[in-house]
Structure 1
Amino acid sequence: MVEDVRIDILVIGAGLAGLRALHTFRAQGFGVQVLEASDEIGGVWNFNRYPGARCDVESFDYSYRFSEELEQEWRWSERYAKQPEILRYINHVADRFDLRRDVSLNTRVRSAVLDPATSRWRIEAEDGRAWSAQRFVMAVGQLSMPKATTYPGQDTFAGQVLYSARWPREPVALEGKRVAIIGTGSSGVQMTPIIAAQAEHLTVFQRTANYSIPAANAPVSDAEDAAVKANYRARREAARNSPSGLGFAPDPRSAAEVDPDERERAFEAAWNRLGFGFALTFKDILLNQAANDIASAFVQRKIGEQIEDPVLREKLVPQGFPFGTRRPSVDGGYFATFNRPNVSLVDISETPIERFTPTGLRTTAGDLPFDVVIYATGFDVFTGSILKIDIVGRDGQTLGDAWAGGPASYLGIGVHGFPNLFFVGGPGSPSLLSNVILSSEEQIDWLAALFDSARQQGVEEIEATEAAQSDWVDHVNARAHETLYMKTPSYYVGAEMPGKPRVFMPYSGGVRGYRRILEKAAAQGYDGFDLRGGEAIRAAS
């Protein structure tokens, strides 16, 4: 029998967060092992290779801040980098900092079980290999568990079925083909203009019209690159001290109180530059219904102006929910694509898809022929990638059972009953309401300081207290109810999956506010965590 490999810290996931965790923990002298299910690093940017895949945060900000040398040497080509460029960046970082030697690829984790006698975690892969770790960190991402969407009869379809979140690495020939895209979230919005230019005919199946803001993408000039790099520290600090991690603060006035002409100019400038940051043009767009109505009307008007056909315009302009309460997409000509003669829209709220046929899809209105059907139907967000692993904590309780009523954590980092288990970007943290890479780096640096202090004090077990977890869940919910997010069924509240608990998943208190909470907890000896097995950190702080 092969003995378990003993390690200080085991990290699951070799995406941007997992690789940052590896670099940071290893620099402190910890033994670190990263397990990755794929045969390549990169996380979401390894899997999402669909045409048009692109980040919706500016490249200069969607990058690591831990190395000034890295910042200076890497040259972004566009304001919003495409998937291949981001993946090249991730691979460059892995090579530059010699990260690959501590990453085990093709290693899909099956289970993680706490040993109550030692407070160590036994993590077992599907191939039978196992590790014993003192600290267990999940950096599995929020958008890494695709929905297992299928329709009846799919196995009878003679054409090709593709998933945006598991796009083939080899080129997919779409020229001259009849293509269907099911879903109009970010993936569908991004790929639609690209595929429309290739396909003989493209049909987009939409359930809910969504807001989308122009990316205003452009090449990064040498002058812009030099200007950013000359002032990168200040840019990073501005991002860390902004609500969203995007580096700018909203106008402190209410959108409802500003002079209409001035407000129009502000909206126009934001429309042409800020991407989904448009929601922060004024401080209360996501807080006040009257302010949101004004912003929504502007966006609806701008979308409508791009669509020539009045019937299509009625279907494509979003209605019935506040702007920004579903994460807006950032697009490159999505709405104008429907002016093309080879593009059609099917509203599946009116004519639902019933099944596949050997030649295409059958809706309640009839059969439609296709050569390729693409699912762009999204993910089981926040918890799906965590709960697919059988995680067993104290007294044999599984994390799935502990979260049966919705995810509960302290700071989005630790869970009571599961000592020495930690999340990066977990539910209860800013995650998808922020620049994710910035928020991940904040949490990783905070965890690194916690682990180092625990090592110095001989602390073996770190566990969120029941009281702290309960208070944090209440705080997350209270902040969410100060916003308009609760008015809309979205993945923020678990509405993307049938049967999923309807609770607000991320933390809406902002990047700056969250960081201050982390700093306060650390200054108070990591208040909210029980620290056992040695001199308590609080006594030394």
Structure 2
Amino acid sequence: MTHLGTRIETDAIVIGGGFGGCNSLYRLRQMGLSVKLIEAGGAFGGVWYWNRYPGARVDTEMPSYQFNIPAVWKGWNWSERFPGDEELRRYFQHVDSVLGLSKDTLFHTIVTRVHYDTASRRWIVHTNIGLRASCKYLITATGSSYKKHYPQFAGLEQFTGQLVHSADYPDSLDVTGKRVGVVGNGASGLQLVQSLAKEDCRLTVFIRTPCFAIPMKQRAVSLPESEMLKGYYDGIFDRCYTSATGFPHNTRFQSALHATPEERKELFDELWARGGYSWLISNYYDFLLNEQANSIFYDYWVQQVRARMTDRKKMDLVAPLKQQMLVGTKRPSLEQDYYEMIDRLNVTLHSLKHSPITAFDTTGLSTCDGDTMEHHDLDIVIFATGYDAVTGSLLDLNISDCNQVPLADKWKDGILTHLGIMVPDAPNLFMVYGPQAPTSLANGPPFIEMEVDWICKAIEKMQKEGLGSIEPSQKAAEEWQDHVAAVSEHTLYPKADSWYMGTNIPGKRREPLIYLGGMQRWWKNCMDSLENWDGFHTL
């Protein structure tokens, strides 16, 4: 649906058409509410609608990265252990076909401003197409990875070659015979480099911080195997909901420091061969809590990586023998043949820590190492520089609360939410996959289903008790803010600069964007709050 007139009045509005938005629309309609969804893209999928760069695929293996909706999964079979972007877009088409989501959705529509009208006690949503919509319940499902981060370099506008962001990759970018530069070395940068290195091009990878990547062990999944797995879906999904991370993996409640070197090597070898996130999630629990344990993990990882490469200089940049990063404190990536690909002769690695980019010009960019300047002639520059994660897309909605205070002002001294779901002075505003919740450190779909389930439970309780609105108290939000910070300080995450801490964006406040206490601890707090509306004002 693309046009519903210039005004809409409905029970609920959902902003965003990824996993969070689709699930919110589906569940709220099941409750009998009238719901409209607003999506900036041309189809459902969220990050998987936008991500179309070579090699783009999800790092969560099937079947746990999907909706636990039998009507959807009965008619769908995954073809790979880790599906690529094209298959994920087909999956969302299938979801829409089964659940009929499009009939209540406005595509190609961007929310420009949102404010709360105290007279009508409703949210007013303004869009770029002139549509004005009002609702009682507002659900923001804008995701963690929507607002692209473009780094600012002197002379960038002078570059006459092609500039590309990985989240806005053209359908037909031909790199044959071209000099290609990739700036950024996170998940997208890794997947891009892994793919482009195989092409007939000269590839220069500009690396500020080496990525931490472990084997994906990708493989095809046959139709009989996919159907067979459906017999275990209840167990797999239940495990996702009751785990700390939303993943169904086995867990091990043993310290790396209390195991012998022989025991550690046996477990490390077993999990490494298994592939995926098993090597982190099913391993000794304390590698993110204790630097000595973390070093044990690093020492194993670095030997595995260096054994796959031949170029000593490249090895020393991406996997130095002396530990320079804490394992897992930045977003871990899965790779298929990344280390073999960067070892190729057509790939050059450039350290931005030793020789940062100083400026662009018409033909490329310059770097400087002390007094030594180097010019890199480039035809194409790809920014794999990620996003203003978690909060960027929320703040772009220009939300003002019931006192007409913008969300950006409310959060200028630190993010303030209760449970990562609601904000003080914002009645019936619910965030899905937002800050101060497990969000990006949990398996997205099952975690999102739990968030949406809580929202539905809260609305059902409101209806049963005849309440018009709920909003968290300032005190409850401040206590949750303190709790999020305290939990973070007991981990190694604050010791690293990462988008988990907001440090990838110049000028962004450094604070934990993600709740690190695990899904079960978070969920208990959520459910306890529903008992007597603890921490909430009701009206």
TM class by smaller structure: over 0.9
State the Cα distance separating 1:272 from its structure 2 match: 2.5
Instruction: Verify: 1:421 aligned to 2:429, yes or no.
Output: yes
The CA deviation string for residues 410-442 of structure 1, in whole angstroms up to 9 with x for no partner, is 010001111111100111110011101111110
8 Å Cα contact 2:424-2:474 kept in structure 1: yes
Please give the alpha-carbon distance, in whole angstroms, between the structure 2 residues aligned to 1:41 and 1:375: 24
The CA deviation string for residues 259-308 of structure 1, in whole angstroms up to 9 with x for no partner, is 21121121122223342442231111111222111111111221222221
TM-score, normalization by structure 1: 0.95
The one-letter amino acid paired with 2:451 is Q
**Which of residues 389, 402, 417 is equivalent to 1:409?**
417
Counterparts in 2 of 1:531 and 1:277: CA distance versus 1, 3 Å: farther
Instruction: Verify: 1:520 aligned to 2:528, yes or no.
Output: yes
Instruction: Verify: 1:37 aligned to 2:40, yes or no.
Output: yes
Identity of paired residues, percent? 33
Instruction: Verify: 1:145 aligned to 2:152, yes or no.
Output: no
8 Å Cα contact 1:243-1:249 kept in structure 2: no
The one-letter amino acid paired with 1:294 is I
8 Å Cα contact 2:193-2:342 kept in structure 1: no
Instruction: Verify: 1:107 aligned to 2:114, yes or no.
Output: no
Please give the alpha-carbon distance, in whole angstroms, between the structure 2 residues aligned to 1:272 and 1:144: 33
**Which of residues 282, 302, 325 is equivalent to 1:321?**
325
Please give the alpha-carbon distance, in whole angstroms, between the structure 1 residues aligned to 2:488 and 2:20: 25
The CA deviation string for residues 92-122 of structure 1, in whole angstroms up to 9 with x for no partner, is 1011111001110111111001112232111
Please give the alpha-carbon distance, in whole angstroms, between the structure 2 residues aligned to 1:212 and 1:347: 18
State the Cα distance separating 1:527 from its structure 2 match: 2.3
State the Cα distance separating 1:223 from its structure 2 match: 4.8
Please give the alpha-carbon distance, in whole angstroms, between the structure 2 residues aligned to 1:76 and 1:120: 42
8 Å Cα contact 2:79-2:223 kept in structure 1: no
The CA deviation string for residues 434-488 of structure 1, in whole angstroms up to 9 with x for no partner, is 1011111100011012112212322111101112111111111121112111111
8 Å Cα contact 1:321-1:487 kept in structure 2: no
TM-score, normalization by structure 2: 0.95
Question: Is the partner of 1:440 in helix, strand or coil?
Answer: helix
The CA deviation string for residues 182-241 of structure 1, in whole angstroms up to 9 with x for no partner, is 000000001112111113211100001121111111111345323321111011111111
Instruction: Verify: 1:368 aligned to 2:372, yes or no.
Output: no
**Which of residues 487, 490, 495 is equivalent to 1:487?**
495
8 Å Cα contact 2:391-2:435 kept in structure 1: yes
Deviates more, 1:187-196 or 1:114-123: 114-123
Instruction: Verify: 1:340 aligned to 2:331, yes or no.
Output: no
**Which of residues 100, 121, 124 is equivalent to 2:123?**
121
The one-letter amino acid paired with 1:491 is W
Please give the alpha-carbon distance, in whole angstroms, between the structure 2 residues aligned to 1:73 and 1:269: 34
Please give the alpha-carbon distance, in whole angstroms, between the structure 2 residues aligned to 1:445 and 1:487: 34
Instruction: Verify: 1:51 aligned to 2:54, yes or no.
Output: yes
The CA deviation string for residues 152-198 of structure 1, in whole angstroms up to 9 with x for no partner, is 32332222111101112x22211221111100000000111211111
**Which of residues 397, 419, 438 is equivalent to 1:430?**
438
Deviates more, 1:390-399 or 1:453-462: 453-462
Please give the alpha-carbon distance, in whole angstroms, between the structure 1 residues aligned to 2:129 and 2:379: 37
Counterparts in 2 of 1:526 and 1:85: CA distance versus 1, 3 Å: farther
Please give the alpha-carbon distance, in whole angstroms, between the structure 1 residues aligned to 2:445 and 2:533: 23
State the Cα distance separating 1:512 from its structure 2 match: 2.4
Q: Which runs of 5+ in 2 are unaligned?
A: none
After the TM superposition, which residues 188-207 of structure 1 pair with which residues of structure 2 at under 5 Å, given as runs?
A: 188-207=189-208
Please give the alpha-carbon distance, in whole angstroms, between the structure 2 residues aligned to 1:245 and 1:525: 27
The aligned residue for residue 259 of structure 2 is: 258
Please give the alpha-carbon distance, in whole angstroms, between the structure 2 residues aligned to 1:180 and 1:294: 34
Question: Is the partner of 1:367 in helix, strand or coil?
Answer: strand
The aligned residue for residue 300 of structure 1 is: 302
The count of corresponding residues between Structure 1 and Structure 2 is: 528
Please give the alpha-carbon distance, in whole angstroms, between the structure 1 residues aligned to 2:466 and 2:134: 18
Counterparts in 2 of 1:227 and 1:128: CA distance versus 1, 3 Å: same
